[in-house]
């Protein structure tokens, strides 16, 4: 198939200009240019523009882009650590304080055995009786005092200069050795707190047993009274029945008029 | 061993940043040349290059390989250039300074090029840049992609999202306007000059 180019077919001229056309199109354009001076001059002018365009160069710049990842921020280094014995003491203190602050109470009454925890004053029916000795209960204030003493001990240890900078002084050696005079104090405080908790628990358990025994005795007396009352009622009824039977026998055995 | 773009893309998709760095090294300068000519500012062109490769890196997992990597990254860069032009609401500024830095020019001089020829080339470069900036964006981009990046009509059509015939029309109209402006500036555009 033969292609014939016309002057207005500029797309063919552009294809020829950039040498991006088929062989048939190229032949058609060349045939047209050979007989059309206007299109030939235009093609020459467009080639000149392309030559001028080549002079436009981009500046030489340093690029060198690279993909980089943001460095992960390191965890802040802790200059001191809490000794294991202090952590253990703190754990015991928290448990003891929790039990004390929870106001643990054991009660036995008509409703059965009751364990009660929580804030607030104890109910009146479980208040210590007059004959019972006043229980030695670890109060919140006492536990807070223990906690404050522990915190003060820890703070004094943390505020002490680093061991490395005090390596030559007695205080530094004591601190480096883990404060040997402080550890017994902590252990004594913890032992004291544990002893108080143990005594309180024993007292409350004994009180519960005593209340249980009293309630059992009261119940037995009441049951015995009820039984006797029931027996009395029954005896009176039996006696009435006997009297009725006797009356009937007398009436039935007497001669009729 | 020189890896192909496709191989480097495959490695990059598996998290190999060094492979992606090789892609950057291979394509950053053409992308910079494109951005520089389209928006006409050096610093902003650098920003476009940086953002282009950042977006490519983040979206490399979505690259399915239907097109060449170069076409994909050219499309990203062109979109960024359009966004910049639209956002700034300004026409590209001629990047060629009025003054002539002889020291810089001398470093770019060809071995057989005299100082007079070098100055004339820079003057022509300024005129061309000024003429280009006055073209409509579609014509300017089509000419840039064709003249400076050697793309085919079809590749330009794909990038510009238009028919192939439209690309030829844009090229023709743009070249005709450039020819007229160059003539007005005293640079007769004739193929006999080459």
Check residues A140 and A147 and name the one with the higher pLDDT: A147
pLDDT at A166 over 50: no
In angstroms, what is the C-alpha Rg of chain A?
55
- Other Cβ atoms less than 10 A from the Cβ of B189: the count is 22
Examine the domain organization and report whether A88 and A202 are in the same domain.
Answer: yes
A158 confidence band (pLDDT: 50, 70, 90): low
- B50: chain A residues, CB-CB within 8 Å: 65
Compute the average pLDDT of residues A24-42.
95
Classify residue A72: in a domain, yes or no.
no
Compute the average pLDDT of residues B140-157.
96
Examine the domain organization and report whether A120 and A208 are in the same domain.
Answer: yes
A161 confidence band (pLDDT: 50, 70, 90): very low
Classify residue A107: in a domain, yes or no.
yes
How large is the angle between the packed helices B137-147 and A37-53, nearest 10 degrees? 80
Q: How many domains does chain A have?
A: 2
* Nearest CB to A18; choose among B36, B125, B146: B146
Classify residue A55: in a domain, yes or no.
no
Report DSSP letters for chain A, one per residue. ------TT-HHHHHHHHTT-S-HHHHHHHHHHHHH-HHHHHHHHHHHHHHHHHTT-------------PPPPPPPPPPS----HHHHHHHHHHHHHHHHHHTT-EEEEETTEEEEE-SSSPPPGGGSPPSSSPPP----HHHHHHHHHHHHHHHHHHHTSPPTGGGTTSHHHHHHHTT-TTHHHHHHHHHHHHHHHHHHHHHHHHHHHHHHHHHHHHHHHHHHHHHHHHHHHHHHHHHHHHHHHHHHHHHHHHSPP-
Classify residue A235: in a domain, yes or no.
no
* Nearest CB to A52; choose among B108, B168, B187: B187
Check residues A127 and B129 and name the one with the higher pLDDT: B129
**Residue position matching structure tokens 């299109």:** A39
A68: left (phi over 0), alpha (psi -120 to 50) or beta: beta
Compute the average pLDDT of residues B5-33.
93
Q: Which residues of A137-166 are buried (b: 16+ CB within 10 A; e: fewer)?
A: bbeeeebeebbeebeebbeebeebeeeeeb
Please report the pLDDT score of residue A102 as a whole number.
54
Find which of A7, A8, A10, A14 to mutate to test the B interface (most B CBs within 10 Å of its CB): A14
Classify residue A147: in a domain, yes or no.
yes
Compute the average pLDDT of residues B142-149.
97
Classify residue A245: in a domain, yes or no.
no
Compute the average pLDDT of residues A20-48.
95
Compute the average pLDDT of residues A184-192.
86
Examine the domain organization and report whether A170 and A108 are in the same domain.
Answer: yes
Closest CA relative to residue B143, chosen from B180, A44, B188, B133: B133
Examine the domain organization and report whether A110 and A16 are in the same domain.
Answer: no
Check residues B102 and B144 and name the one with the higher pLDDT: B144
Check residues B109 and A217 and name the one with the higher pLDDT: A217
Please report the pLDDT score of residue B12 as a whole number.
92
* Nearest CB to B191; choose among A11, A44, A57: A44
pLDDT at B56 over 70: yes
B188 confidence band (pLDDT: 50, 70, 90): confident
pLDDT at A100 over 70: no
| Closest-CA distance of chain A to residue B137, Å | 17
Examine the domain organization and report whether A142 and A200 are in the same domain.
Answer: yes
Classify residue A74: in a domain, yes or no.
no
In angstroms, what is the C-alpha Rg of chain B?
19
Find which of A42, A45, A70 to mutate to test the B interface (most B CBs within 10 Å of its CB): A45
pLDDT at A159 over 90: no
Closest CA relative to residue B120, chosen from A91, A222, A52, A170: A52
Examine the domain organization and report whether A31 and A108 are in the same domain.
Answer: no
Owning domain of residue A107: 84-214
Domains present along chain B, CATH in parentheses: 1-93 (1.10.1740.10), 107-194 (1.10.10.10)
- B189: chain A residues, CB-CB within 8 Å: 45-46, 48-49, 51-52
Tokens representing B190 are: 């004739």
**Among A218-227, A243-252, B9-18, B48-57, which is the least confidently predicted range?**
A243-252
Determine the residue of chain A that is closest to B144 in CA distance: A53
Report DSSP letters for A39-86, one per residue. HHHHHHHHHHHHHHHTT-------------PPPPPPPPPPS----HHH
Please report the pLDDT score of residue A160 as a whole number.
52
Examine the domain organization and report whether A96 and A204 are in the same domain.
Answer: yes
Examine the domain organization and report whether A38 and A97 are in the same domain.
Answer: no
A75-90 pLDDT, tens digit each: 554 445 566 667 777 7
Q: In this structure, what are the phi and psi dihedrals at residue B175, rounded to the nearest 5 degrees? A: -65, -40
Examine the domain organization and report whether A93 and A210 are in the same domain.
Answer: yes
Cα B81 to Cα B44: distance, rounded to the nearest angstrom: 9
A220 confidence band (pLDDT: 50, 70, 90): confident
Please report the pLDDT score of residue A63 as a whole number.
82
* Cβ within 8 Å, pair B189-A13: no
Compute the average pLDDT of residues B23-48.
94
Examine the domain organization and report whether A113 and A23 are in the same domain.
Answer: no
B90-109 pLDDT, tens digit each: 555 555 444 445 555 566 66
Examine the domain organization and report whether A103 and A197 are in the same domain.
Answer: yes
Please report the pLDDT score of residue A74 as a whole number.
52
Examine the domain organization and report whether A90 and A45 are in the same domain.
Answer: no
Please report the pLDDT score of residue B179 as a whole number.
95
Classify residue A170: in a domain, yes or no.
yes
Selection from A3-12, A136-145, B59-68, B140-149 with the highest mean pLDDT: B140-149
* Cβ within 8 Å, pair A63-B46: yes
Cα A20 to Cα A62: distance, rounded to the nearest angstrom: 35
């Amino acid at each position: 198939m033969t292609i014939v180019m016309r002057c207005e077919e500029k797309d063919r001229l552009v294809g020829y200009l950039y040498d991006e056309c088929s062989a048939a199109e190229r032949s058609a354009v060349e045939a047209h240019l050979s007989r059309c001076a206007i299109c030939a001059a235009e093609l020459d002018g467009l080639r000149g523009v392309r030559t001028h365009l080549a002079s436009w160069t981009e500046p030489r710049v340093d690029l060198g882009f690279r993909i980089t990842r943001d460095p992960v921020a390191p965890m802040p280094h802790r200059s001191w650590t809490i000794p294991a014995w202090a952590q253990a003491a703190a754990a015991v203190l928290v448990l003891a304080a929790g039990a004390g602050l929870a106001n643990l109470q054991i009660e036995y009454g008509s409703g059965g055995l009751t364990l009660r925890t929580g804030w607030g004053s104890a109910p009146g029916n479980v208040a210590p009786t007059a004959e019972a000795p006043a229980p030695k209960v670890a109060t919140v204030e006492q536990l807070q005092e223990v906690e404050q003493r522990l915190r003060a001990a820890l703070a004094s240890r943390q505020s002490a200069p680093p061991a490395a900078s005090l390596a030559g002084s007695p205080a530094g050696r004591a601190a480096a050795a883990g404060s040997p005079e402080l550890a017994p104090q902590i252990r004594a405080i913890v032992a004291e707190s544990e002893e108080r908790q143990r005594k309180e628990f024993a007292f409350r358990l004994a009180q519960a047993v005593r209340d249980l025994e009293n309630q059992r005795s009261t119940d037995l007396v009441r049951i015995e009274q009820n039984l006797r009352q029931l027996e009395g009622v029954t005896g009176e009824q039996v006696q009435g029945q006997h009297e009725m039977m006797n009356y009937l026998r007398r009436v039935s055995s007497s001669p009729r008029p | 061993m020189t890896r192909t773009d496709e191989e480097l893309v495959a490695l990059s998709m598996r998290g190999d940043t060094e492979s992606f760095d090789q892609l950057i090294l291979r394509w950053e300068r053409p992308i910079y040349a494109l951005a520089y000519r389209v928006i006409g500012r050096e610093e902003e062109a650098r920003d476009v290059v940086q953002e282009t490769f950042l977006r490519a890196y983040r979206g490399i997992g979505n690259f399915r390989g239907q097109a060449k990597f170069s076409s994909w990254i050219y499309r990203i860069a062109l979109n960024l250039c359009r966004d910049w032009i639209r956002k700034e609401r300004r026409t590209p500024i001629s990047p060629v300074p009025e003054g002539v830095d002889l020291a810089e020019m001398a470093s770019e001089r060809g071995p057989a090029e005299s100082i007079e020829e070098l100055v004339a080339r820079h003057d022509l470069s300024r005129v061309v840049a000024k003429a280009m900036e006055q073209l409509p964006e579609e014509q300017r981009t089509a000419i840039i992609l064709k003249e400076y990046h050697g793309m085919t009509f079809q590749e330009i059509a794909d990038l510009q999202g238009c028919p192939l015939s439209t690309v030829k029309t844009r090229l023709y109209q743009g070249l005709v306007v450039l020819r007229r402006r160059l003539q007005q500036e005293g640079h007769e555009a004739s193929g006999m000059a080459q």
